[in-house]
Structures are given as C-alpha cells and as structure tokens.
Amino acid sequence: MKKSMKNINPSISYRLLYPSVPTLIVSSSKDTISAMPAVSVIALSNEPALLGISISPEHSTYKTIKRNGKLTISLLDSKDIPRLFALSKELGYRTKDKLRTSGFHKTITPKLKLIAPAEATAVFECRVVNDFETGDHRLLICNVVSVYASDDFEDYWKYEQYNPILYGGSSIGFVPYNKSKKERNM
C-alpha cells in the first residue's frame, strides 16, 4: 500500500470502481415500460449463465421487475449518450414509457418477447431467479436465457464498430470510450 493514500468514507467507496460501462435495464408490466441505467451488473456464473444486478428497491424499475420477473440488460454505443442521459434524468413514476420519452426505439426480443432498445449493441434476455436484501439495495440474481450482440463481438469485443459508454460518476457522467485501435494495443 502506498504511503500517500488517504482514508475514504466507506459509504462512497463504490466511486473508486468508476469508470464503469453502464447498462440499460428494461422491464415492462401491463402498460408500463420501466428503464434505468445501471453500472452495478456483474457476471456471477458461466454455467448456468447468471448475472447479478444491484438495484434500489425505491426505483420504479425494480418495482416493475418485481411484478414481471423478467428484464433485458443492454449495452449501448457512445452515440446513444444523449438518450441515456435523458433517460437517467426522467423519473420513472412520471412516465409510462421511459424508452420513448428519452428517444429510444423499442424492439421485442426473440425468445422471451421482452422490450429492449432497438439501438442496443448487445442484449441479454433474463429471468430473475432470486432477490436478496443487501443493505439499502437489492441483489437480483438473473438467469441469462438468451444473448444477442452486434458483429463486432467474436468471443470478445473487437471495438471496430462498438464504442462503449463509460460512466465516471455523477460529477463526470457518461463519456465515450474512444481510444484508437493502435492506442488500445499498447
């Protein structure tokens, strides 16, 4: 440990994990389409394919997921930063369709017939298999039923077409990852 390190308040320690690639979580129930950006998504298992999502139970998206039991998790390209920013500022209880009000277009996924943004670079179709209380958040354990990705993914991202969004925290917001291929290989 470096001698020049300072003590950080544990309640803001999650900020040390930025920048992160944000995902867009979408779930629908009856006439409501809930959506929210989330940086707290983690791969938990390969077989079976499981993802974990940390989410506040106060979010309208959590409440929709709780009713539906299914959701999509999408990765977006940096060209979608204005839409993602608009979506992050829109309160869920004020609108019935957060995708539409933030400028995203809807598509229906092939397997589970869920809603996802048509602009997505990758989409996970998921079923919630468990929901745990973890302090002031819930940990959703999601079984990945199907996954779809652009041609820029071949076992790993090539980053020839896909330019991910990075989230640097509320003081920085959403920024593009835009290093050239030459810079990434150094």
What is the structure's pLDDT at 118? Answer: 98
For the chain, the domain total comes to: 1
Q: Is residue 9 part of a domain?
A: no
DSSP state of 163: -
Q: Is residue 73 part of a domain?
A: yes
Q: Is residue 2 part of a domain?
A: no
Question: Cβ–Cβ contacts within 10 Å for residue 133, how many?
Answer: 9
Q: What are 73-95's pLDDT values in tens digits?
A: 999 999 999 999 999 987 766 78
Overall pTM surpassing 0.85 (yes/no): yes
pLDDT tops 60 at residue 70: yes
pLDDT tops 50 at residue 38: yes
What is the structure's pLDDT at 94? Answer: 77
Q: Is residue 14 part of a domain?
A: no
Q: Is residue 156 part of a domain?
A: yes
- In SS3 terms, 43-57 reads as EEECCCCEEEEEECC
Q: Is residue 3 part of a domain?
A: no
CATH code where residue 143 lies: 2.30.110.10
Q: Is residue 51 part of a domain?
A: yes
Residue 170's pLDDT band (cuts 50, 70, 90): confident
Q: What are 1-25's pLDDT values in tens digits?
A: 888 899 999 999 989 999 999 999 9
Q: Kindly report which listed range (29-38, 62-71, 172-181) carries the lowest average pLDDT score.
A: 172-181
What is the structure's pLDDT at 180? Answer: 52
Q: Is residue 4 part of a domain?
A: no
The domain in which residue 163 lies consists of 21-184
pLDDT averaged over the chain?
A: 92
What is the structure's pLDDT at 185? Answer: 44
Give the span between the Cα atoms of 173 and 45, in whole angstroms.
29
